[in-house]
Structure 1
Amino acid sequence: MRETLIPISEFAQRRQRFLAQMQDNSIAFFAANTLATRSNDTEYLFCQDKTFYYLTGFNEPDAVLVLVKSATPESILFCLPKDPQAEVWHGRRVGEQQAKSQYLFDQTASVEQLEQMAPELIANKSALYYCYGAHQPLELQIFQWLTKVKAQSRLGISAPKSLIDCQAMLDEMRLFKSDAELDVMRQVNIISGKAHQRAMEKTHPEMFEYQIEAELLHEFARHGARHAAYNSIVAGGDNANILHYTDNSEPLNHGDLLLIDAGGELAGYAADITRTFPVSGQFSQPQKALYQLVLDAQQQCIDAIKPGQTLAALNELCNQVLTKGLLALGILQGDLEQLMAEKACKKYFIHGLGHWLGLDVHDVGDYQVNDRQQLRPFEPGMVMTIEPGLYFPLTDDSVEEKWRGIGIRIEDNVLVTDQGHENLTVNAPKSIAEIEALMAG
């Protein structure tokens, strides 16, 4: 599958939208990531700062974007210069000239010129924007540049009187996905669904978790998503009760469930899908009962997604479904209304119901959290995960032995639309019948 990139014109439009929100006579700075050392002289694969990428589409390290709101607003990219000797060792660079035309910046310059040009650009501006705490080296540089500008006050040059944290402005922009972004997110969900199908087809007892992880990565890359969006969770048996289990080192045992939380990354955008299925291809009766309960809770929550809905209301719905189910199974005991009021199911459903999704797996955006209640009404263009789960560690002596060692989570990626919602996770089997049929071959 060919990777569909976000049009470069859309990145330029994002810069214009941000400039429109800036105060007159102001300036903003955004930094790219730098290469991170893995050990000695080897480095991790480069991952661009997602805020910087959102505004530029530029995927090289050590660059800085400057946006200037003046009589003629402009965007300036400072990037690594062309260097044949360095490029022989570390790969080709775009360089200033090509960056200007290819990425539609008003000006470009070598990052080596930033130290000289930044105080000149800051001088006599009334406000300066940057993302507080997001990039410590840039933040330090900004204060050094401000000191230089202030030192020229006797020459009639003034420094900005306002320093503004613009992270919330960008988070709000990123929360609402464009048509082009949604096209990419649909693709990465399909690719990731294929990977979950492959995992189900390849799994059998006595394999190791990391072998199934390799199958996932193979399927991501085979369809154009070269990298996983996050470290894959491949958790057999009781390991599923460790929420962020990524060791993936244990053998898979007959009779256990396998929980896989994994998604690919395409053009910077993440999928985040979880499926739980039996290692041997057939659910036991206790596994089937708990699995169907989680699936029912997930489906009812997804069905309720529409504009105006909230995560707080979906959490309450999930609480109702899980509490009734756990009471019917004898895992919870007592009065239903009191159990729901006490959120008794949270002993076994130990994480949140979902989160925003986009360029980051746990993507940016305000939930309007008030006393831990997520009260922001949904609007078209938001994308979220819905991921209820139930967890019964082997050490939990408060439940019957047949439930112990079972951990189940089911997670899909859902878009809010004008009419209601669209489930982007369309091809990863999740009904008991679908899973057992696929694994039976």
Structure 2
Amino acid sequence: MGRDAVAVVVGARLATRANDTEYPFRQDSDFWYLTGFDHPDAIAVLRTDGGPPFTLFVQAREKEAEIWTGYRPGVEGAKADFGADEAFPVSELADEIPKCLAKAKRVYHQLGRDAKLDALVVGALDSMRRRSRQGVVAAPGILDPRELVHELRLFKSEDELARMRRAAAITAEAHREAARLARDGVFEYELEAVLDYTYRRRGGWGPAYGTIVAGGANATVLHYVRNDARLRAGDLVLVDSGCELEGYASDVTRTYPVGGRYSAPCRAVYEVVLEAQRAALALCRPGATLPEIHRATVRTLVEGMVSLGLLHGTVDDLVAKEAHRAYYMHNTSHWLGLDVHDAGSYTKGDDARPLEPGMVFTVEPGLYVAKDDANAPESLRGIGVRIEDDVVVTADGCENLNTAIPKRIDEVEAWIAG
């Protein structure tokens, strides 16, 4: 933020599901990153203008409310347990926000999140401007803090990476339980249930995003989430699921054989995707870019699509025409962290952003052949495969967080059988 700056940051509120029932609370990721405060309706003020560096506005302790909804840290807990230099009840915002902004030369606040807070911040600055004849100097405008915060979030500390490694370890255990359950006649939601159970049993918060368990042709739907069909022997089941641990996400996809053995057509498609992921992972190092990794993935996939009879022509021509998009529609990578599609810019100026140590991202090639694709060989119709790992950029290469979950066909089959 620089010197003489103040940031006013709003946390998440409880979201109503229906009538007087709320969804489980999850703190806003930026607020969690900056404060570690995991209770609703909080506001933080961060200052470099000589005032208290970290102030929290929180729900006050209230006996009756806590009987219904649980413990509140209150003002004293905000200081003792969360390190706030000062803390106030949220009811005192109107009195305190003008004081917080009085010396600021720059004000950071994300407008549009909280109308009442927006009005307080804007009103305080307007009031200062009206007193300019008395020598009062107000910040010239309101800056959005997200670019600064998201740049910080893009580079993970060792403490953050430790959480992500632990989330990955729990995810590996959960995937193994799900893969072993993938048998003829089992419902997709039964695999989802064992994934969720294992995440929580091992200390995670639950799934980091909506779990995908897609058997057979359901795997050709990229964001299939119904998870209500029966698995059939000889099919594949695509499992896209990761644990959330202390706010940090794991994001892993494996495509398992129902019954423990890959059929010949499924094996052929799977090997193409696995080879594409190998090509992508080989490029994951400082200085590379995500578009470069994606291009290598696409080229390897196109070579495989030609060998499978899905595409016809030269690889160069097919890549130039983006013919792969008939069977591979998404990008290969996205940032990963507190959000499964994490914060951070993908560009630096007008160019793709070079990878640097501490960045974490996914590598997730796939190949999806719709069951009604008349242009595809009949034996391949209805087969969908995706293989996804989470990668940390290191000083001289990368660390794959998901090596505990096998990918080679012989290793997957042995893992399930063992």
1:230–1:361 CA contact under 8 A, matched in 2: yes
Q: Which amino acid aligns with 1:391?
A: Y
2:277 to 293, 298, 302: 298
Give the SS at the match of 2:180: helix
Give the SS at the match of 1:103: coil
Give unpaired runs (5+ residues) of structure 1.
Answer: 1-20
1:99–1:105 CA contact under 8 A, matched in 2: yes
Q: Which amino acid aligns with 2:202?
A: H
Query: Could you give the per-residue CA deviations for residues 220-276 of structure 1, whole angstroms, max 9, x where no partner exists?
Result: 111101321111011111111111111111111222211111011101100000011
Give the SS at the match of 2:298: helix
1:204 aligns with 2:183: yes
2:176–2:416 CA contact under 8 A, matched in 1: no
Cα separation, 2, equivalents of 1:141 and 1:291: 56
Cα separation, 2, equivalents of 1:287 and 1:187: 32
Structure 1 residues 291 and 140: alpha-carbon distance in aligned structure 2, compared to 1, 3 A threshold: farther
Cα separation, 2, equivalents of 1:360 and 1:341: 33
Q: Which residue in 1 is equivalent to 2:230?
A: 251
Give the SS at the match of 1:198: helix
Structure 1 residues 133 and 146: alpha-carbon distance in aligned structure 2, compared to 1, 3 A threshold: same
Q: Which residue in 2 is equivalent to 1:382?
A: 359
2:52–2:86 CA contact under 8 A, matched in 1: no
1:161 aligns with 2:140: yes
Give unpaired runs (5+ residues) of structure 2.
Answer: none
1:405 aligns with 2:382: yes
2:49–2:103 CA contact under 8 A, matched in 1: no
TM (normalized to structure 1)? 0.91
Give the SS at the match of 1:325: helix
1:126 aligns with 2:105: yes
Query: Could you give the per-residue CA deviations for residues 187-241 of structure 1, whole angstroms, max 9, x where no partner exists?
Result: 0001011111110111111111111100100111111013211110111111111
Cα separation, 1, equivalents of 2:348 and 2:228: 37
Query: Could you give the per-residue CA deviations for residues 314-340 of structure 1, whole angstroms, max 9, x where no partner exists?
Result: 111111111111112221111222112
Bigger mean CA offset, 418-427 vs 65-74: 65-74
1:432 aligns with 2:409: yes
Structure 1 residues 437 and 135: alpha-carbon distance in aligned structure 2, compared to 1, 3 A threshold: farther
Cα separation, 2, equivalents of 1:187 and 1:135: 34
Q: Which residue in 2 is equivalent to 1:289?
A: 268
Q: Which amino acid aligns with 1:191?
A: I
1:276–1:409 CA contact under 8 A, matched in 2: yes
1:190–1:426 CA contact under 8 A, matched in 2: no
Query: Could you give the per-residue CA deviations for residues 267-296 of structure 1, whole angstroms, max 9, x where no partner exists?
Result: 110000001111122111111011011011
Q: Which amino acid aligns with 2:387?
A: I
Q: Which residue in 1 is equivalent to 2:32?
A: 53
Structure 1 residues 332 and 311: alpha-carbon distance in aligned structure 2, compared to 1, 3 A threshold: same
Bigger mean CA offset, 172-181 vs 396-405: 396-405
2:70 to 63, 85, 91: 91
1:367 to 330, 346, 351: 346
Q: Which amino acid aligns with 2:30?
A: T
1:183 to 147, 159, 162: 162
Query: Could you give the per-residue CA deviations for residues 334-369 of structure 1, whole angstroms, max 9, x where no partner exists?
Result: 122211222322221111101000000000111118
Shift of 1:112: 1.0
TM (normalized to structure 2)? 0.95
Q: Which residue in 2 is equivalent to 1:8?
A: none
Q: Which residue in 2 is equivalent to 1:18?
A: none
Structure 1 residues 321 and 220: alpha-carbon distance in aligned structure 2, compared to 1, 3 A threshold: same
Alignment of 1:209-248 (within 5 A): 209-248=188-227
Structure 1 residues 304 and 138: alpha-carbon distance in aligned structure 2, compared to 1, 3 A threshold: same
Cα separation, 2, equivalents of 1:370 and 1:245: 35
Q: Which amino acid aligns with 1:409?
A: R
2:251–2:389 CA contact under 8 A, matched in 1: yes
Bigger mean CA offset, 332-341 vs 350-359: 332-341
1:39 to 18, 32, 40: 18
Q: Which residue in 1 is equivalent to 2:247?
A: 268
User: Over the residues paired in the alignment, what is the CA RMSD in angstroms?
Assistant: 1.8
